[in-house]
Structure 1
Amino acid sequence: MAASQVLGEKINILAGETVKVGERDPLGNDSPEQDRLPQRSWRQKCASYVLALRPWSFSASLTPVALGSALAYRSQGVLDPRLLVGCAVAVLAVHGAGNLVNTYYDFSKGIDHKKSDDRTLVDRILEPQDVVWFGVFLYTLGCICAACLYSLSPLKLEHLALIYFGGLSGSFLYTGGIGFKYVALGDLIILITFGPLAVMFAYAVQSSPRHW
């Protein structure tokens, strides 16, 4: 009987049935071919990482940076472009990492599904470990930018650390750790993190201590 099986089929010994390649067998086991992800070029991989960041949401972090910098310029009449760029990159890195944390925890808790807006992990565009390591990289990048800002800005270290790590903690705890999003406090965390904290951060790195 085995010799008469058509190529591309496999025998379910227990049920006495055949299953075509790519189909799910009656015992609930996927074919190995179904589990394999298609090989993608490095450009497609990079595009997947960019989409996972949800770049369309970055206006929520760039707007407060622009506002804080404008307030600093109005109060001092001077704006350091290096500090402006460094602040924008730091805030964007924290924002992007927070989006990845949200993607990871929503998927791990079974909240994301085929009809969700974010299907990065549901559709296996990226693997969970890819999202985790990309988030770690972005948080590290944000910390490096914060260190550079300290070396260029007149802001005291304790003040910079308090504001920056306050924002970083908010971006992570939105869905990670405590998971404020899951106890109906997510909007409040987002409002604080990308509202007063981001504006204060951008203003503080441009302002000398006497303007506080």
Structure 2
Amino acid sequence: MTNKRTLADWFLATRPWSYPASTMPVALVLAYYFADGVAVDPVNAVWALVNIVIFHAAGNVWSDYFDFQYGVDNQNTLGVRQLVDGKFVAREFLWLAIFLFAAGTLCALFLVWRTGLPFLAVTFAGIAAALVYPPFKYRVGGDAVIFIAYTLTPLFATAWIVTGTWSLDAIWAVLPTGILTVGILHANNLRDAKTDTEAGIRTLASVLGKNGR
């Protein structure tokens, strides 16, 4: 029997409370250039924020799908439990992730049209980071992927749509939020270190243990 779900259930499946981790770097880069006197196109700015939220949602669902499939998320784990508790089936999460990746790509094509073909490069980099996160997470590399996805990718993407260059000028604006995001990830992984080890995966937190705090 299929559970009856609302639009709110589907929305919550994307973990919307985590969106500030991706929107803040974009907003900070936009603010940096605006304060520096650079003209910021409002349409591009809003579209960039929408775009990164869609890709963030896709990455969240993709990660949760693999965590469930590989037994990382189970009855003993905390956090997101839609799959564990049977609210959704794994197939639905997989298709939701694919839909969101497709929607994000279409959204990015609008920015490609407005800012130039090179924007595709950073789009593909962001998609690649989301896709490879699960296997890297299971082999100690998740923290590095998250730093790239939530620091360097939004930095270069936003710099491109504002200046038309791959500028590092705003790196100091986004570095604190990137480090904070990795810190939150590490704290969550430290909380889950026991169940992650039992599932056969090795995160940086489980390798370092409590002494690595």
Q: TM-score range by the shorter chain?
A: 0.7 to 0.9
Larger Rg computed on CA atoms = 1
Q: How does 1:38-117 map to 2 (within 5 A)?
A: 38=3, 40=4, 44-116=5-77, 117=79
1:56 deviates by 0.7
Q: How does 1:30-45 map to 2 (within 5 A)?
A: 36-38=1-3, 40=4, 44-45=5-6
1:108 deviates by 0.6
User: How far, CA to CA, are the matches of 1:143 and 1:211 in structure 2?
Assistant: 23
Residue in structure 1 matched with residue 127 of structure 2 by the alignment: 168
1:209 deviates by 4.6
Cα contact 2:58–2:101 (8 A) shared by 1:
yes
SS at match of 1:122: coil
Cα contact 1:93–1:138 (8 A) shared by 2:
yes
Q: 1:64 to 1:211 in 2, by over 3 A?
A: closer
User: What TM-score, normalized by structure 1, do the two folds share?
Assistant: 0.73
What is the root-mean-square deviation in Å for CA atoms of aligned residues? 1.9
Which of 126, 149, 167 aligns to 1:193? It is: 149
Which structure has greater helix proportion?
2
Which of 139, 150, 157 aligns to 2:112? It is: 150
User: What TM-score, normalized by structure 2, do the two folds share?
Assistant: 0.73
Cα contact 1:76–1:207 (8 A) shared by 2:
no
Residue in structure 2 matched with residue 133 of structure 1 by the alignment: 95
Q: Gaps (5+ residues) in structure 1?
A: 1-35
SS at match of 2:152: helix
SS at match of 1:119: coil
Residue in structure 1 matched with residue 158 of structure 2 by the alignment: 202
User: How far, CA to CA, are the matches of 1:107 and 1:172 in structure 2?
Assistant: 15
User: Among the aligned pairs, what percent are the same residue?
Assistant: 29
User: How far, CA to CA, are the matches of 2:166 and 2:44 in structure 1?
Assistant: 18
